[in-house]
Structure 1
Amino acid sequence: MQPYPTSENFPVPPGPAQTSQAQPGWGPPVTMPPRGLSPYGRPARHSWEIPLLVIVVVVTALLYVTSTLLIVFGVLNQLVLIVLFAPVIVYFGRGMLYAGQRLNGVQMSPTQFPDGYRLVQEAAARFGMTQVPDAYVVLGNGQINAFASGHGFRRFVVVYSDLFEVGGEAREPDALAFIIGHEVGHIAAGHLSYWRQLGMFAGQFLPILGTSLIRSQEYTADNHGFCNRPAGVPGAMGTLGAGKYLNRLVGFDELADRSMRERGFFVWLVNATSSHPVLTWRANALRDRSRHGKLFWHPDPPQQPTYNQPYLQ
């Protein structure tokens, strides 16, 4: 197995200025690179994301219609009320979450966590976003986590403070860049719009199907993180597996190789009911860029190393 490449193996991806349409009279237009799994073009959406999203949205619509009919026929219970008030629940939940970060978080800026602020700016530019999301640091108390969300027209990223111990100069700044690219990728991929989250409301009541949709979104966000900083993948996976102090003891290739050996019904069940790709499968997907990450069945041996082949579809 060829080891995972370092940052020296990856040329700088084309920025927005290199991929935008040229002005008339200044030569032929430069076409946008296709979406793919390499770090050179635009990040691809996981192949299962849209089909699963359509199914969940249809189920949500049917659930809403059914709840309305039950009210008409005089049937009233807690589940019916939750479904009918879903638009309000989602709206207020998003608003409260955003307000909490604005009141309690430390907002990244050129003077507060400037490295994180720069990484958010770079990720937004890498994905061609017209508006840079707000970014906040909150107290981690030993937890390794980050997330993205939104309210109204605003989008924001929250990074737990412990991740900056990973991203400091003495540790793994590339890992922090990958994680921030992953979270900004959720925003760039449209995962955080109000209407999308409302349409996915029934997903929480659908075993396996709902979690599979969320896992596919996580794979999509990983594709964004990979395009943003591919060299940060081993450090990020090591941090998720062993924490901020022992991440360098994790062998990334050993972690990815185990995804092909660990099999069985309960292995399948743990993955199927997880909202995030299990770590070994996730590492395998980030190493094998010839295909999308496995959603339901364990990964197969890679066809060939693909990180030197740009613009893979």
Structure 2
Amino acid sequence: MEQFPPTVTHDSPAHPAPGFAPPQMLPPRGLSPWGMPIRHHFEIPLLVLSIATTVVTYLVSIALIASGALEPWVVLVLLAPILLFFARGQMYAAQRVNGVKMTPTQFPDGYQLLVEAAARFGMPQVPDGYVILGNGQINAFASGHGFRRYVVIYSDMFEIGGQARNPDALAFIIGHEVGHIAAGHASYWRQLGMFASNYIPVIGSSLSRAQEYTADNHGLCNRPYGAPGAIGVLAAGKYLMSLVGFDEMADRARTERGFFPWLVNILSSHPVLTWRAAALRDRSRHGRVF
């Protein structure tokens, strides 16, 4: 296991998960001795690059229209603000009319995790939480519409939180999704600014990976000992997650190298799991985006 710099230590929960050392954080702030979550250092530069790409795309579109050229992609760019608004509204409405809303009486454990995560990150309002049918899929996401923000959890996710499995992993995942909201990733204006870069290889996916690291930092601060279980369920699923060695996954970030592993990561919206595990374990540095 990689060692943490022995500079600042704090009291930690009494029963850490096997194979996961508590991270060394900055002095306590907020509601936890683990400190407030940090934003990945590449996120803002990549966001600026993405917004600049979108602005240039709009300027080119306007110039083409002024010259009399009306290409289909130009129309798509000009309609992007409206299309994004309606897409977000439709997605939110789908959760409201089809999802099971987490409340003190429906999925109360999940609701409590939402409340705790929002408080942990100093959010003035608890985001809505919905459970939708997973049909075997392991997934969760965060989004918003207007002034509302919400988290959607696939129903199969709750099976990893059962007493026989790993409730800390579920807390980490919910903290990760609430972290997306706390970090501003669900903002309409941010997503509009990222619109053009999503269609350009590397730029959009790199920003997405940086945002995922930021959300992982939130999940870690929310429930530190849920990280191994979260990596386990993403790697092997809800039934075999306990067989995944967190340290072995993290160690392979140093050995699984070469052009094609790099290519898989650079084209992905999420960091590859070996790099992600290494970043969660080694809190002395930011996770690798490139």
TM-score in terms of structure 2 length: 0.91
Deviations, residues 152-179 of structure 1 (Å, cap 9, x unaligned): 0000000000000001122110000000
- C-alpha distance in structure 2 between counterparts of 1:137 and 1:127, whole Å: 22
**One-letter code aligned to 1:207:** P
Aligned partner of 2:219 among 196, 210, 225:
225
Going from structure 1 to structure 2, the CA distance change for 1:32 and 1:229 (only over 3 Å counts) comes to: closer
- C-alpha distance in structure 2 between counterparts of 1:61 and 1:196, whole Å: 13
Structure 2 residue aligned with 1:168 = 162
Going from structure 1 to structure 2, the CA distance change for 1:249 and 1:7 (only over 3 Å counts) comes to: farther
- C-alpha distance in structure 1 between counterparts of 2:51 and 2:209, whole Å: 16
The alignment-based identity, stated in percent, is: 67
Q: Work out whether 1:70 is the aligned partner of 2:64.
A: yes
- C-alpha distance in structure 2 between counterparts of 1:124 and 1:287, whole Å: 24
Going from structure 1 to structure 2, the CA distance change for 1:67 and 1:39 (only over 3 Å counts) comes to: farther
Q: Work out whether 1:288 is the aligned partner of 2:260.
A: no
Structure 2 unaligned residues grouped into runs of 5+: 5-11, 17-26
- C-alpha distance in structure 2 between counterparts of 1:135 and 1:250, whole Å: 29
SS of the equivalent of 2:135 reads coil
Q: Work out whether 1:252 is the aligned partner of 2:246.
A: yes
Structure 2 residue aligned with 1:33 = 29
8 Å Cα contact 1:39-1:226 kept in structure 2 = no
- Report deviation, 1:105: 0.3
8 Å Cα contact 2:3-2:282 kept in structure 1 = no
Aligned partner of 2:98 among 91, 104, 122:
104
- C-alpha distance in structure 2 between counterparts of 1:122 and 1:194, whole Å: 25
- C-alpha distance in structure 1 between counterparts of 2:151 and 2:33, whole Å: 22
Aligned partner of 2:75 among 73, 77, 81:
81
SS of the equivalent of 2:270 reads coil
- Report deviation, 1:33: 3.1
SS of the equivalent of 2:261 reads helix
**One-letter code aligned to 1:222:** D
Kindly report structure 1 stretches of 4+ aligned residues shifted beyond 4 Å: none
Aligned partner of 1:135 among 107, 129, 138:
129
8 Å Cα contact 2:28-2:34 kept in structure 1 = no
8 Å Cα contact 2:2-2:282 kept in structure 1 = no
Going from structure 1 to structure 2, the CA distance change for 1:138 and 1:3 (only over 3 Å counts) comes to: farther
Deviations, residues 226-261 of structure 1 (Å, cap 9, x unaligned): 000010001110000000000000000001101110
8 Å Cα contact 1:181-1:224 kept in structure 2 = yes
- C-alpha distance in structure 1 between counterparts of 2:36 and 2:62, whole Å: 42
Q: Work out whether 1:8 is the aligned partner of 2:14.
A: yes
**One-letter code aligned to 1:8:** A
Structure 2 residue aligned with 1:182 = 176
**One-letter code aligned to 1:221:** A
- C-alpha distance in structure 1 between counterparts of 2:3 and 2:49, whole Å: 39
SS of the equivalent of 1:147 reads strand
- C-alpha distance in structure 1 between counterparts of 2:241 and 2:264, whole Å: 24
8 Å Cα contact 1:39-1:228 kept in structure 2 = no
- C-alpha distance in structure 2 between counterparts of 1:175 and 1:3, whole Å: 23
The alignment covers a number of residue pairs equal to: 273
- C-alpha distance in structure 1 between counterparts of 2:150 and 2:288, whole Å: 29
**One-letter code aligned to 2:51:** V
Q: CA RMSD in A?
A: 2.0
SS of the equivalent of 1:85 reads helix
SS of the equivalent of 1:174 reads helix
SS of the equivalent of 1:144 reads coil
Q: Work out whether 1:158 is the aligned partner of 2:164.
A: no
**One-letter code aligned to 2:133:** L
SS of the equivalent of 1:262 reads coil
SS of the equivalent of 1:286 reads helix
Going from structure 1 to structure 2, the CA distance change for 1:222 and 1:39 (only over 3 Å counts) comes to: farther
8 Å Cα contact 1:3-1:253 kept in structure 2 = no
